[in-house]
Structure 1
Amino acid sequence: MKRRPSGKFLRASVGASAGALATLALGMPAQAAGTSVVELTEPASTVEAGVGSVSRSSFKFGEYNGLQDRGPFAIGNLDLRGGGRYDSDDTSRWAIQGRDLGLDTRSLSLDYGKQGRFRFGIGYDELRRNYSDSYQTPYLGVGSSNFVLPANWLKPLVPQVSGSALNYRSLSTIEGTASAVNGAGLVRPPTSAQLTTLSRIFDADTPAFRAVDLSTKRRTFGTSFGFSFDPQWELLASWRRDHKDGLRAQGAINDALNGNSAVILPTLVDETTDQYNLSMRFTGERGFAQLAYYGSLYDNKVDAIRWADPNDPTTSATMSSAPSNQFHQLSLSGGYHLTRSTQLVISGAYGRNTQNDAFLSDPSLPLGIPRGSLDGRVITKSFTLKLTSRPESRLSLGAGFKFDERDNQTPVDRYIFQDVNEPASATASPFNAALGLAPNTLGNNINIFNNRAHSRKDLKLDFDADFALTRANSIAAGYGFERILRHCESTWIECENATDSKENTLRLEWRSRISEGLNSRVGYSNSQRSSKYDPNAWLALVPMANVIPGAPVVGASTSVYGYLQQTGLTGWGPIAGYPATPLTGNAAIFSPNNNIVPQSLYGSRDNLAELPGMRRFNVADRSRDTLRASLAWEASERLSFQAGADWNRDDYSRSVYGLQRAASWALNFDANLILSDSFTTGLFFSHENLSSRNAGDGYGSNTNAAFVGRAGNTLVSGGCFATVLLKNRNGKIDPCLNWAADHVEEADTLGVSLRDAGLMSGKLDVAASLVLSWVRTHVGVAGGSYANNPFALSGAPVLPAGDPAVLFIPAADMPEAVNRSFELHLDGLYRLAKSSSLRLSYGFKHLSSSDYLYDGLRFGSQTTVMPTAEQAPGYSVHVFGISYVFTFH
């Protein structure tokens, strides 16, 4: 059967196949058809050396295969094998293998051992991952963890729009110099002074942007050792070190004062992971046992990144990197044949995961940090039992039990901080007194958070049966049960949305040999997951939700949590518009005008309240259906066909908001034809479809504002309400602000291959393959949002009669993203002599891509996100290769 890429979609797999095209792997035999006794009884060794050439540079083409640079590259592969002769008492074996030695994907390994006694191995390999060669940044310090802006950097702004607000559209001579509506409601081009300001900004900032290649390289070195004391006892040990370094893009927020402005930084990668394995195995006549240790030590040399704020380069922000950590685990497993047809396998493991890197401190932290490090500790335990039996020849039975526990013992503490570069508000926090602080120590824009230590227990039961109805037909059935218990240690309230969830699964499969050479299989499964959902679990993050707010809040007799308990509400508040009569008491404080609970009353700068009916998909009630079918037909000794179909559907019927459904289906077909003993051909095709629907609510706030700008500006165009007053009084429950997004992704792949291994009296082998791929992504959006008429200003005349002050703008579908690729491989191997061959190879790949996401990265496209000028990938690349292959025994 023709092997073809698998997975949800073929972007990555089809792209990665370009590596096989040009690395010139030893895929064809170098021996002649006639073989001697030596060739049949002694291992063959092969050495390949040559040169190849890439027609043009492309990071995307060379994303994983090391062929990103234009020009020549070395071809180097070897497979050396030796040891004792088959007719001697020497049982030693050794092998030295190397692949892609001239590229950034090289690997080299050495193995030596004596059969039944010991074996030893050592290896090294590399893998380069290319991200982007069109990325640009103005930051200095690339290659370090500290980024600064040039000394002449000027804050980007568009003065005809605002003389102070950050606006990266000034970096484009087109968008930056566009006309704007002034305070009097008149459209005016920028003045001479404003053009001068724009010119100064453009001349100072745009030359600072320079290209930076983003890529990482992983280097792996490892050793392994095995020793057999006797046929029953064996010791195994291995060590592996992975070191990754390079640059990759990372987004970061600058501040909360300029629309949460953001930058995309070329962050440094310098990390090492060491993995250790040690085990002792016993194998007896009726059973086996193993005691094993596994250790993983992750060390990140980059503790944090620091960058200057483009709003004010004299200020900077700091963000920590992934902390170093360790994981150690002991496991014990064993199996025993209770009878000739019944086997029991049991395994258990105990692990300890720790992380204790020092916290970063910052002068902006008003009270410092509660502890110097996290002192993170997670204990893992697992136990598995599997019983299989074949009580009679036609019946097989299986039962399994699995228990996994993740016990998070990390201490819980209170962390008090401002948002990035945001000064404390002049209005005091209502929790200064409760925290034992002097008045005005904390502003009401402070974050007072607790970390949360998430723990879980997972219990699974599985039962399976397989019964042969006839010699040609069999049926299999199964039942699975899973229960997950989630909780948090040391939080003032339970932090999990679903503390207890259960899932039941039924499986059924039919297998049939319809006729000689024709086999089919159909399988179906259905699972039902249910849980009790708590929409107020977010309160565990904000301990002040359980504290009655004090001054400057007046009149509160309970806390946020107490109010929600009394009223049965969530933090989103009542499902209601502006109240007909003013609210009083706690309702006026915690649900002002029937709006959501104010952030300052639970010590947060984020709205943490969930929409009524919102469910997180990983714990939401779900119905899952899966259908699989396949058909294989051996039409003759030379012709065979295979076809398959997969269908999956997840239905979240109780989720009003969030993920509501997800589905996928796929069809695949392949055929193989043997035209002669040496000539074979294959054809495959696949179609894959993935879809999902998400829903949300872009709700606003209830107000009693009746106009926009001037008293006469009262009309609304479109939407669900005709006047500004009605729209504002129903701002929180406006049905026109509900939205839905339908995501559909489709991929078609067609491939054909040819191979002839017997041309020119057996001296020439040729192979060719062609792969076409077409991937489409479509996002349909329903809903919309309101926008004020830009001429509805307080300093402008009242709008003409009938002109709307507010316009409802319906949502539009996203542009379709399309990737098309064409890939051709041609290989030939000509035998110059019995032990030497010449290999010629050619490959071509074309990729065209249209992706609207890249439009937001160009200069002038966004206001508060620094552009990177990255472009959608596209290329047409030719690869040529010629190499000499020497084979010997």
Structure 2
Amino acid sequence: MTSFIFSLRARRTAVALAVGTACLAAQAQDASVETTVSVGAGAIDGSKADRAIFGQYNGLRDNSVVGLLGVDYSLRNPETSAWVEFQGANLLGDTRELGLVWKKPGNWKFTADYGELVRYEPNTINTGLLGAGSSTPQVVAIAAGTGNDLNLKTKRAGLGLGFTKIISPALQLQVDVKSENKTGARPFGAFMNCLASTSSTCLAVPGLAVLMLPEPIDANHSQVEARLSYAMEKLRVSVGYYGSFYRNANSTLNPSGPFTGVADPMLALPPDNQAHHWDLSGNYDFTTSTRGTFKLGYTTASQDAGFVSAGPAANLGAKVNTTLAKVGLTSRPMPKLSLLADLRYENKDDQTPLANYNSVGTNRQLSSEKTLGKLQANWQFNSDYRGTLGADYEFIDRGVFTPSSVLSSMVPLRQKTVEGGIRAELRRRMADDLSGAISVSSSQRDGSNWLQGNPGVPGVTKVFYPASSFDLTQTVFMPTLADRQRDKIKLFADWQANEKLSLQFSAEEGRDKFSTPSAYGLQSTRMNQLGVDWGYAVNYNWALNGYLSRSGQTLNQARYAGSVMAFDNTNLAASIGVTGKATSKVHVGGSLTYVDDKSVYAQTLTASAPPTLLAGGGLPDIVYRQTALKLFANYALEKGSSVRLDFVHQHVSANDWAWGNNGTQFAYSDGSTVAQSQDQNVSFIGITYIYKLP
């Protein structure tokens, strides 16, 4: 297979883009030119631990002072209709962006953009690991908390080029190319099976170890997209191509040292892969009130990177071909009635070769067919009322189970599922200043017989009587395959209370109820959301705005031996802001925001619970709270120049028992720990001079 990768060198590309713009500027003798330059500096207080969350993406995790530089250049030539725009933002920081648009309206357009993004891992790793972030790290056993602090980060650098050509009034060609390099390291881990000759115990259990091994990242993702569009009086059609090419310079992670004494400790990393997609889409106007739409697509995705060590095949040779067909119809047969119908079919053909990668059985081929249907009718009762009725349909056929593959008898599958639903909505304009809507929906999913794996041998057996075939105290029926009843209701209102005050209200409630042959597993889920947005114009110069929202999600599951567990997540967010003109030269503003996100893991026991279980418990709560104050002031010095002052204060309180609880850190087998400051306070102040060239 022929593939290609666009090379990218960050500094060279950024300079070339800027130089190219400078050359264009030299041609602007008689054209209209506007140039704005902003220069400034910012400073931040607090330690690196205090900046862990605040400095994730702005480069202020490691730096206490940052330079600010931006440019906005625009050139318009009325004689040739040429138009050039160049923008550069945060050019001295870790998130610099450059963008160029050069076009002749109605004829052609060329675009180029370059951007960088550095993400700093908010958690600090304390470890004795040598060569962390490389593909060959060396594990060194230490006492927990006595190693070196390690702060990981990843960097993205991407270049995009685009060209659009209007060949004729009916024909247009568009081509876009993007390439992004990603380097650095991110948290990763491994569960190792140690040999007794290397370590008598791993994690206090003979033969087992859990290690923190950062994943080395050095990859490129390139994308190509092209589309040719043609329009006639009634028919509009386009043909397109999309290509994705991923290349990873690190195929494996090869740790050494204590706790890695398996025969082959290599860990596989994301392999090279590629995909090609072609499509033909368009629409046709049958009449002035009826339009049909269509789309045909074909995608082939492959992964044929070679295996590092010997195996049953030289490479996986994975290949999945996907065929897509979609048709739709919209019509307005009557002034008050509008209709919509959509039908979508997708066939995924997994042609990956089968081989004996496991001790028993081969890999699985995951072919599937999916059919989606949608019908909708809208009726305008009068100028105030409009109603909608709709029906939705989804059918999934996951194909015949691969006969040579093995499935656990405790994890049954289902070949087919079908879901049908109805929905209704009523919108009303209750007054010139008040409108609202209510919508309800209900759907039900069921499916074919469950499939049970044959114990110890390949293949599956269709189950007609689950109660006698499965051990219902241990079998896991996947919620994505289970019978499900889903109901939802939504409310919305928009109220212009007076000429100064406007409010928007929204509320939503949804419930899922699952049904399987077992009384255990996920039983039900619930979600709800309530929000209010408002704006108030105090006068011509001053305005207030804000929002208040609360959302919740609950998952209830029953476990064997009388344990009932519930996961509850609630999120509360509020904000108030103000903007205004203090004087004719001073523009000020600010906002105060608050976020409270809490996850509760509750456990209760039923009468059937054995006395050995605790009478209560569950897991500790995970709480994240953030309060942020943002203020700005802009002072106009003279025509074309101004000074802007920004101030930000952020307080974060976060605790996650996954890494530690009640002062006790979770320690990996080699003594590595992961931590984040539970209380983080940080303040930032920046000043920027903005000058518009004459």
The TM tier, using the shorter chain, reads: 0.7 to 0.9
Whether 2:325 is the aligned partner of 1:413: answer no
Whether 2:625 is the aligned partner of 1:820: answer yes
- What is the CA distance between 1:566 and its match in structure 2? 12
Which structure has the larger Rg? Answer: 1
SS of 2:481's partner is coil
In 1: Cα distance, 2:384 partner to 2:479 partner:
42
- What is the CA distance between 1:231 and its match in structure 2? 1.2
Deviations 1:307-349 (A, max 9, x none): 1353476976111111110000110011111100111110110
Match of 1:754 in 2: 578
In 2: Cα distance, 1:673 partner to 1:84 partner:
42
SS of 1:747's partner is strand
8 Å CA contact 2:101–2:112 kept in 1: the answer is yes
- What is the CA distance between 1:47 and its match in structure 2? 1.8
TM-score w.r.t. the length of structure 2 is 0.87
Whether 2:97 is the aligned partner of 1:107: answer yes
- What is the CA distance between 1:284 and its match in structure 2? 2.2
- What is the CA distance between 1:489 and its match in structure 2? 6.7
- The answer for unaligned runs of 5 or more in structure 1 is 1-40, 157-170, 173-205, 362-367, 417-446, 547-560, 576-609, 698-736, 789-805
1:68 maps to amino acid = R
Whether 2:325 is the aligned partner of 1:377: answer no
- Structure with the larger strand share: 2
In 2: Cα distance, 1:473 partner to 1:888 partner:
54
Deviations 1:490-517 (A, max 9, x none): 5337978121111101010000001111
Whether 2:478 is the aligned partner of 1:656: answer no
- What is the CA distance between 1:285 and its match in structure 2? 2.5
Deviations 1:616-652 (A, max 9, x none): 0111111111111111111122211111101111110
Q: Evaluate the alpha carbon distance shift between residue 494 and residue 210 of structure 1 in structure 2; reply closer, same or farther with a 3 A threshold.
A: closer
8 Å CA contact 1:786–1:809 kept in 2: the answer is no
In 2: Cα distance, 1:778 partner to 1:489 partner:
38
SS of 2:367's partner is strand
Match of 1:148 in 2: 138
In 2: Cα distance, 1:358 partner to 1:250 partner:
23
Deviations 1:758-794 (A, max 9, x none): 332x211111111012121111023499999xxxxxx
8 Å CA contact 1:680–1:755 kept in 2: the answer is yes
2:88 maps to amino acid = G
In 1: Cα distance, 2:56 partner to 2:431 partner:
46
Q: Evaluate the alpha carbon distance shift between residue 465 and residue 888 of structure 1 in structure 2; reply closer, same or farther with a 3 A threshold.
A: farther
Q: Evaluate the alpha carbon distance shift between residue 664 and residue 454 of structure 1 in structure 2; reply closer, same or farther with a 3 A threshold.
A: same
Match of 2:111 in 1: 121
Match of 1:528 in 2: 444
Q: Evaluate the alpha carbon distance shift between residue 531 and residue 314 of structure 1 in structure 2; reply closer, same or farther with a 3 A threshold.
A: closer
| Identity across the alignment (%) | 25
Match of 2:10 in 1: none
Deviations 1:4-32 (A, max 9, x none): xxxxxxxxxxxxxxxxxxxxxxxxxxxxx
Alignment of 1:623-642 (within 5 A): 623-642=485-504
Whether 2:532 is the aligned partner of 1:669: answer yes
In 2: Cα distance, 1:65 partner to 1:674 partner:
33
1:740 maps to amino acid = V
8 Å CA contact 1:533–1:620 kept in 2: the answer is no
In 1: Cα distance, 2:501 partner to 2:65 partner:
41
SS of 1:513's partner is strand
Q: Evaluate the alpha carbon distance shift between residue 862 and residue 48 of structure 1 in structure 2; reply closer, same or farther with a 3 A threshold.
A: closer
In 1: Cα distance, 2:662 partner to 2:70 partner:
41
Match of 2:682 in 1: 877
Q: Evaluate the alpha carbon distance shift between residue 636 and residue 863 of structure 1 in structure 2; reply closer, same or farther with a 3 A threshold.
A: closer
Match of 2:187 in 1: 249
> Which residue of 48, 70, 74 corresponds with 2:38?
48
Deviations 1:669-696 (A, max 9, x none): 1221111112111121111111111233
- What is the CA distance between 1:854 and its match in structure 2? 2.1
In 2: Cα distance, 1:759 partner to 1:93 partner:
37
Deviations 1:692-747 (A, max 9, x none): 112333xxxxxxxxxxxxxxxxxxxxxxxxxxxxxxxxxxxxxxx24332011111
SS of 2:682's partner is strand
Q: Evaluate the alpha carbon distance shift between residue 226 and residue 691 of structure 1 in structure 2; reply closer, same or farther with a 3 A threshold.
A: same
Match of 1:442 in 2: none
8 Å CA contact 2:362–2:406 kept in 1: the answer is no
- What is the CA distance between 1:270 and its match in structure 2? 1.1
Match of 1:453 in 2: 365
> Which residue of 651, 655, 658 corresponds with 1:853?
658
TM-score w.r.t. the length of structure 1 is 0.69
Whether 2:73 is the aligned partner of 1:80: answer yes
8 Å CA contact 1:466–1:474 kept in 2: the answer is yes
Match of 2:148 in 1: 210
Q: Evaluate the alpha carbon distance shift between residue 502 and residue 74 of structure 1 in structure 2; reply closer, same or farther with a 3 A threshold.
A: same
In 2: Cα distance, 1:831 partner to 1:376 partner:
62
Match of 1:516 in 2: 432
> Which residue of 454, 476, 480 corresponds with 2:392?
480
- What is the CA distance between 1:810 and its match in structure 2? 4.1
- What is the CA distance between 1:359 and its match in structure 2? 1.7
> Which residue of 57, 62, 69 corresponds with 1:64?
57
SS of 1:276's partner is strand
2:75 maps to amino acid = G
Aligned residues: 646
Match of 2:266 in 1: 318
In 2: Cα distance, 1:298 partner to 1:672 partner:
46
In 1: Cα distance, 2:279 partner to 2:463 partner:
46
8 Å CA contact 2:522–2:558 kept in 1: the answer is yes
> Which residue of 569, 573, 584 corresponds with 1:745?
569
- What is the CA distance between 1:287 and its match in structure 2? 2.6
Whether 2:86 is the aligned partner of 1:96: answer yes
1:534 maps to amino acid = W
SS of 2:457's partner is helix
SS of 2:308's partner is coil
In 1: Cα distance, 2:442 partner to 2:464 partner:
40
Alignment of 1:341-740 (within 5 A): 341-361=289-309, 369-416=311-358, 447-488=359-400, 490-492=402-404, 497-536=413-452, 538-539=453-454, 544-545=457-458, 611-612=474-475, 614-654=476-516, 656-697=519-560, 737-740=561-564
8 Å CA contact 2:343–2:372 kept in 1: the answer is yes
In 2: Cα distance, 1:402 partner to 1:691 partner:
32
SS of 1:225's partner is strand
In 2: Cα distance, 1:125 partner to 1:636 partner:
44
In 1: Cα distance, 2:430 partner to 2:183 partner:
55
Q: Which runs of 4+ in 1 moved over 4 A?
A: 41-44, 312-316, 493-496, 564-573, 783-788, 856-866
Q: Is the deviation greater in 774-783 or in 257-266?
A: 257-266
Match of 2:587 in 1: 765
In 1: Cα distance, 2:537 partner to 2:463 partner:
74
- What is the CA distance between 1:98 and its match in structure 2? 1.5
In 2: Cα distance, 1:407 partner to 1:333 partner:
22
8 Å CA contact 1:503–1:528 kept in 2: the answer is yes
Deviations 1:501-540 (A, max 9, x none): 111010100000011110001111111111124251x45x
In 2: Cα distance, 1:286 partner to 1:483 partner:
33
- What is the CA distance between 1:212 and its match in structure 2? 1.2
Whether 2:600 is the aligned partner of 1:778: answer yes
SS of 1:389's partner is strand
Q: Evaluate the alpha carbon distance shift between residue 567 and residue 619 of structure 1 in structure 2; reply closer, same or farther with a 3 A threshold.
A: closer
> Which residue of 629, 632, 635 corresponds with 1:830?
635
